[in-house]
Amino acid sequence: MGVSFDKIDGFIWFDSKLVPWAEANVHVLTHGLHYASCVFEGERAYGGTIFKSREHSERLKRSAQILDFEIPYSTADIDAAKQQVLDRNGLPDAYVRAFAWRGSEMMGVSGAANTIHLAIACWTWPSYFDPTERLQGIRIDLAAYRRPDPRTIPALAKASGLYMICTISKHAAERKGYAEALMLDWEGRIAECTSANVFFVRDGTIHTPIADCFLDGITRQTVIDLARRRGIAVIERRIMPDELSGFSECFITGSAAEVTPVSEIAQWRFTPGALSKQLMDDYSTEVRAKGKRVAA
């Protein structure tokens, strides 16, 4: 393991101030810890510019509203704070985490009057998966937990409580030697991985699940756009597990995962091919070209 995340040397933006990393603390009786009243974003910076920073800030604000609280900063304020953290820590290529939560004024289930806090950190995170394994295609387990019916949870918020079953599922997968876990939805259809969206390829066409009980990821949207720019058809539809044997390629997408090919999901096998490689390259070009355009 590397350095513990509470011992990194740097600065964190915390409620409008840049504070030394070790001083960015909250009380143990904070509502966000006990009742999961916390929302967050995972973003990447390339060449000193955060890719689609505004889209991430807007989603952070929407997620908070779904959880019934308002972040007391505008999207422009959040964008500026993220850039300030990136610049102060001197990390042109970094993972950026912005998160907001209810404070400690009330510890019952109801925390409507609690102070809303916002913090932003960044750190070096070259690849979410082992680089060699990533190029060959990662191996994915099939999770026991399923994405719940969106009538039972705030499925379209990027909220900390929704990741509880993701952590459990990823731990179970890693114990069996897999890098990730694929989750079905409450009706047994393909949904997403624990922290990434999933795509499949058949006869040059991309198929991906409809994002209505999980996040329509910003990286997912970007990759769909990149594919369509190349004239590649992308079909968003319901996909059942018994269809997986009919797909030739599979890849997953996310801010942390970027575009990562898959070689195996449980008993199903895939061969990372030309289309997956093309979209990996296109995404890499897009995120860095976007940064150059913004900087200019």
Examine residue 6 and state whether it is found in any structural domain, yes or no.
no
* Domain count along the chain: 2
Domain closes at, from 97, 123, 149: 123
Examine residue 1 and state whether it is found in any structural domain, yes or no.
no
Examine residue 3 and state whether it is found in any structural domain, yes or no.
no
Mean pLDDT of the residues in the chain: 95
- Return all residues near 121 (Cβ < 8 A) that are at least 6 apart: 10, 12, 13, 21, 24, 85, 96, 97
Give the pLDDT mean for 131-143: 88
Say what the pLDDT of residue 76 is.
98
Q: How confident is the model at residue 290 (pLDDT cuts 50, 70, 90)?
A: low
SS3 content of the chain, % helix, strand, coil (to 5): 35, 30, 40
User: CATH number, domain at 160?
Assistant: 3.20.10.10
Report the alpha-carbon distance of residue 294 to residue 296 in Å, rounded: 5
Domain closes at, from 91, 123, 155: 123
Is 158 tagged catalytic? yes
User: pLDDT digit string (tens) for 5-59?
Assistant: 999 999 999 999 999 999 999 999 999 999 999 999 999 999 999 999 999 999 9
User: CATH number, domain at 56?
Assistant: 3.30.470.10
User: Do 68 and 84 fall into the same domain?
Assistant: yes
**Residue 258, φ and ψ in degrees, nearest 5:** 55, -125
User: pLDDT digit string (tens) for 155-182?
Assistant: 999 999 999 999 999 999 999 999 999 9
The token duo for 215 is 């996040």
User: Do 144 and 278 fall into the same domain?
Assistant: yes
Say what the pLDDT of residue 296 is.
41
User: pLDDT digit string (tens) for 168-219?
Assistant: 999 999 999 999 999 999 999 999 999 999 999 999 999 999 999 999 999 9
Examine residue 262 and state whether it is found in any structural domain, yes or no.
yes
Examine residue 5 and state whether it is found in any structural domain, yes or no.
no
The position carrying tokens 């143990």 is 28
User: Do 151 and 206 fall into the same domain?
Assistant: yes
Domain closes at, from 88, 123, 158: 123
Say what the pLDDT of residue 292 is.
55
First-residue to last-residue Cα distance in the chain: 38
User: Do 168 and 101 fall into the same domain?
Assistant: no
Say what the pLDDT of residue 295 is.
46
Say what the pLDDT of residue 126 is.
81
User: Do 171 and 288 fall into the same domain?
Assistant: yes
User: Do 81 and 138 fall into the same domain?
Assistant: no
| pLDDT(80) > 50 | yes
What percentage of residues in the chain have a pLDDT greater than 70?
97
Say what the pLDDT of residue 1 is.
55
Q: How confident is the model at residue 291 (pLDDT cuts 50, 70, 90)?
A: low
User: Do 63 and 140 fall into the same domain?
Assistant: no
User: Do 158 and 194 fall into the same domain?
Assistant: yes
Say what the pLDDT of residue 129 is.
80
Examine residue 269 and state whether it is found in any structural domain, yes or no.
yes
User: Do 210 and 280 fall into the same domain?
Assistant: yes
Say what the pLDDT of residue 257 is.
94
What domain range includes position 216?
131-292
DSSP 239-256: --GGGGGG-SEEEEEETT
User: pLDDT digit string (tens) for 110-125?
Assistant: 999 999 999 999 999 8
Among 61, 158, 170, 290, the one annotated catalytic: 158
Please answer whether residues 158 and 98 qualify as being in contact, where contact means their C-beta atoms are separated by less than 8 angstroms: no
Report the alpha-carbon distance of residue 98 to residue 67 in Å, rounded: 16
